A = this chain, B = another copy of it.
Amino acid sequence: MEASAINPGTRSVAEDCASAKSATRALASSSTGVKNQALVSIAAGLLERADSILAANAEDLADERAHGLSEALTDRLRLDHSRVEAMAEGVRAVAGLDDPVGELLERRTLRSGIELSKIRVPLGVVAVVYEARPNVTIDCAALTIKSGNAILLRGSSYAERTNSALAEVVREGLSEAGLPVDSVVLSTGGGREQLAELATQDGVIDLLIPRGGEGLKNALKAVATVPVMYAASGNCHVYVHSKADLEMARAIVVNAKVSRPGVCNAAETLLVDESVAREFLAIVLPDLRDAGVELVGDERTVAASSGVPVAPAGESDWDTEYLDLKLAVAVVDNLDAAIDHINRHGSGHSEAIVTGSEEAALRFTTEVDAAAVYVNASTRFTDGFEYDMGAEIGISTQKLHARGPIGLRELTTFKYVGLGNGQIRG
């Protein structure tokens, strides 16, 4: 375990968490102007210090540990001038978003005469555990500063030097705006034990967001006692109904699978209504094949595939998030069977029906249990920017607190404030 520039001693995870906690009271009281000033300073600092950030990044990339990384992971770790500029631009964009803190959600006079207000307030300390993607350091810091939260950033040791350089810029920006530098704490090093220590900081960590694979999620599920919001896996479906415009369906299916197969809102399974299966598969399967998509299907799909190679799907295919140019295809008897399939196998992320029937659309959107349900649109639209929510920290497939994109408002809670003039309860 190496010491980071920000954290030169060997502080424990609990000490890092306590530092972040110490910043929460000042942060919760800080004005929108002060928070925006910090963000603007951070954006400027990123550009001014780009060379030293890139130098730190080059050291991370040159480290022998990084030699084992796949090309895709190395690409995620690598920064260049345009990526630093994009980070700065992202921070400025967060400065331009509405401040969620202080929003009056409800106000009423109770029978007792107490004036009760329900007011949006920061959560307190948010912790994010993430992989070797330095832009996450900046994105998450910006979102938490704007929402009045302190953040504990637990990045990957692969990105240790880059993250330290970035965190230094962030803390300087905080300091220039008069906010506590411990509003953003970088906690590096250690393994599963430190993760478990983090996940059990009850009363200190108000929300823990793991961004990473299923292994990280399962490790946390086993030990976490603090509130956790799991960034989503997306086993998303497109269902082509009997009343679908098949040309529209064709475009949507190809878009949902092919436009960016590695993201959570990409489709993983195509369900085709039996009544249009032969006709639709004849047009969509060649498109998918030509786009390089590997196809697996149920018996009826294989039978109707006329010349396009479709391998028989195994039972596990219906539950798999390929995150790749691969698609499972099934023919279903009707709308009910499609909804059943989705509710059984889906991960509650994004689901789409293509149909010209309003009745079918209403049943689908009511009965499918997912964060986002679409009628005649691609699943790919589930995204904070597309939803006009600004930057997001991830997509939630949980039902509690936040469902769908986790933006600024989803990083807040509320409190009831009751103003009285001596009320006592009878």
Which of the 9-residue segments A11-19, A69-77, A107-115, A270-278 touches chain B?
A107-115
Known A259-B425, A375-B418, A418-B373: A400·B245 in contact at CB below 8 Å: no
A372 in the interface (beta carbon within 8 A) = yes
* Contacting pair A400 B225 (CB below 8 A): no
Residue of B nearest to A424 (CB): B255
Q: Could you tell me if B423 and A413 are in contact, using CB atoms closer than 8 angstroms?
A: no
A207 within 8 A of B: yes
CA distance A104 to B300 in the complex (A): 40
Does A243 interact with chain B (Cβ within 8 Å)?
A: no
Q: Looking at the complex, which one of B256, B370, B381 makes contact with A114 (CB distance below 8 Å)?
A: B381
Name A398's closest neighbour in chain B (CB-CB): B227
Cα A373 to Cα B251 with chains together (Å): 54
Instruction: Flag A264-293 by CB within 8 Å of B: 1 or 0 each.
Output: 000000000000000000000000000000
Residues of B within 8 A of A376 (CB): 419-423
A108 CB contacts on chain B under 8 angstroms: 388
Q: Which of B110, B124, B377 contacts A112 (CB 8 A)?
A: B377
| A311 proximal to B (CB < 8 A) | no
Among A225, A387, A424, which residue has the most Cβ atoms of chain B within 10 A?
A: A424
Q: How far is the CA of A368 from the CA of B60 in the complex (A)?
A: 42
A386 touches B225 (CB 8 A): no
Give bound CA distance, A387 to B116, whole Å: 8
Number of interface residues of A (CB under 8 A): 69
Chain A interface main SS type? mixed
Verify if A366 is at the interface (C-beta below 8 Å from B): yes
Task: Check: A28 CB closer than 8 A to any chain B CB.
Answer: yes
A49 beta carbon closer than 8 Å to chain B: no
Q: Contact between A399 and B380 (Cβ–Cβ < 8 Å)? A: no
13 contacts between A and B (CB under 8 A): A28-B369, A123-B400, A124-B369, A124-B399, A206-B399, A227-B398, A248-B421, A365-B417, A371-B416, A372-B417, A374-B417, A378-B424, A403-B413
Q: Which residues of A contact B (CB under 8 A)?
A: 24-25, 28-29, 108, 110-112, 114, 116, 123-124, 206-207, 221, 225, 227, 229, 245, 248, 251-252, 254-256, 259, 339, 343, 361, 363, 365-367, 369-378, 380-382, 386-388, 398-401, 403-404, 413-426
